A = this chain, B = another copy of it.
């Protein structure tokens, strides 16, 4: 297949995806569902972050989860242990969720009006950046064990995200990780990126993430009403 033909096929895939994403976004906005797309490399602690968030906010926010993995339904099972509704998408050979899969999962999951929907993407810092799922924001989770250079090596993902969560901050005393340098690298690819430093294990900084969640959901709902 010539290079030109490959690019054409990619464009077709992305434009079809974007049409499904728009449909999802309209559905979310009409029903006051605040949807977030969590992206990261494998092992950043996304599922632990979501589990802790659901437990800590269970009296204030209704949260349901779409889990994406190539295989296994381990993560959906971990989420369900919290009492939250969760649905697993197995992408098989696929390296990312797409808006069409998510649309079907939303039909099955049927999140209630006014609730929050977490979509945990396949662990992959490359492909998920190109696929809009209809979310309000992409949230990129980076473990401080991964190195400060990741935003420069995977710029598309950090450019596509609105929030970067630096997770596992409890390990900082044992590492040479330079938080300032990592944030500097992220801002070089996305000057408007917000950043939070948290430990899903100890709870440090999670309060700031919860405030971000609730304030961003309220802002989204107000905008959806006007539109």
Chain A contacts to B: CB under 8 angstroms = 178-181, 183-185, 187-188, 190-198, 204-208, 210-212, 214-216, 218-219
Interface pair B194/A211, CB less than 8 Å apart: no
Interface pair B208/A188, CB less than 8 Å apart: no
Copies of the polypeptide in the assembly: 2
Which of B181, B197, B215 is A188 in contact with, Cβ under 8 Å? B215
Complex: how many Å from CA A190 to CA B219?
9
- A194: chain B residues at CB < 8 Å are 192-195
Main secondary structure of the interface of A (DSSP, over half): helix
Which of B179, B185, B192, B198 is A211 in contact with, Cβ under 8 Å? B185
- A184: chain B residues at CB < 8 Å are 207-208, 210-212
- A181: chain B residues at CB < 8 Å are 207-208
Residue of B nearest to A219 (CB): B191
Interface pair A208/B196, CB less than 8 Å apart: no
- A204: chain B residues at CB < 8 Å are 180
Residue of B nearest to A203 (CB): B180
A191-B216, A216-B191, A218-B191 are known contacts. Are A211 and B196 too (CB-CB below 8 A)? Answer: no
A211-B188, A215-B188 are known contacts. Are A180 and B195 too (CB-CB below 8 A)? Answer: no
Complex: how many Å from CA A216 to CA B190?
9
Interface centre among A178, A192, A206 (most CB of B within 10 A): A192
Q: Give A11 Cβ to nearest chain B Cβ, in Å.
A: 24
- A205: chain B residues at CB < 8 Å are 179-180, 183
- A212: chain B residues at CB < 8 Å are 184, 187, 191
Q: Give A110 Cβ to nearest chain B Cβ, in Å.
A: 27
